[in-house]
């Protein structure tokens, strides 16, 4: 029987994650958490059943959780929700689209989601609570630390180090073996050569 999953965050990113969860088939979505005024509404047919304050109760009932708040300007909200869940349960889901390719020699941290047609090659490491979005490429030996968002179509070339909390915009490309700063913001379409090289 599939594990019951609670999604924390009911916006646009949640819709994309629902599609991945349904396609993967490991979890059954039991409900969504969002703002109090949204309770009772639905997202793609799934009910918003409560708010973040319901996490302790739902954790005690054995549900699994996945943070489905998006991340652009700051990872702050995603981190806060992830840490709140972590205080109450170890049942934190990791979801990988069956349309993605993750090398058996790569690692994906708990709470992370790998979206449709993403590609994660050998030796790559993805930390906890990350988004590897649709059609992103994480090449060999690249490391993405916790709480990062690798946006649609972004390319991390071999050996890139993406530090904690960083946002890599859509279609951004990193040169090989460069390093971001913690909580960095790499704009969409950027050719990232590392901060020392401009």
Do 95 and 66 form a contact (C-beta atoms < 8 A)?
Answer: yes
pTM comes to 0.95
Query: 104-114: per-residue pLDDT in tens?
Result: 999 999 999 99
pLDDT score for 1 = 53
Long-range contacts of 37-42 (CB under 8 A, 24+ apart): 38/10, 41/10
């Amino acid at each position: 029987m599939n594990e019951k999953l609670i999604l924390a965050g009911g916006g646009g990113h949640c819709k994309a994650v629902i599609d991945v969860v349904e396609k993967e088939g490991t979890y059954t979505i039991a409900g969504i958490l969002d703002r109090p005024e949204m309770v009772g509404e639905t997202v793609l047919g799934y009910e918003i059943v409560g708010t973040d304050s319901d996490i302790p109760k739902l954790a005690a009932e054995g549900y699994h959780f996945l943070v489905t708040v998006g991340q652009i300007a700051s990872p702050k909200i995603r981190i806060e929700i992830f840490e709140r869940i972590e205080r109450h349960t170890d049942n934190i889901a990791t979801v990988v689209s069956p349309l993605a390719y993750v090398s058996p020699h790569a690692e994906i941290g708990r709470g992370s989601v790998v979206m449709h047609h993403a590609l994660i090659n050998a030796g790559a490491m993805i930390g906890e609570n990350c988004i590897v979005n649709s059609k992103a490429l994480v090449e060999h030996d690249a490391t993405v630390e916790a709480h990062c968002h690798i946006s649609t179509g972004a390319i991390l070339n071999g050996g890139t180090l993406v530090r904690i909390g960083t946002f890599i915009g859509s279609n951004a490309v990193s040169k090989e073996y460069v390093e971001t700063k913690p909580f960095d913001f790499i704009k969409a379409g950027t050719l990232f050569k590392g901060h020392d090289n401009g």
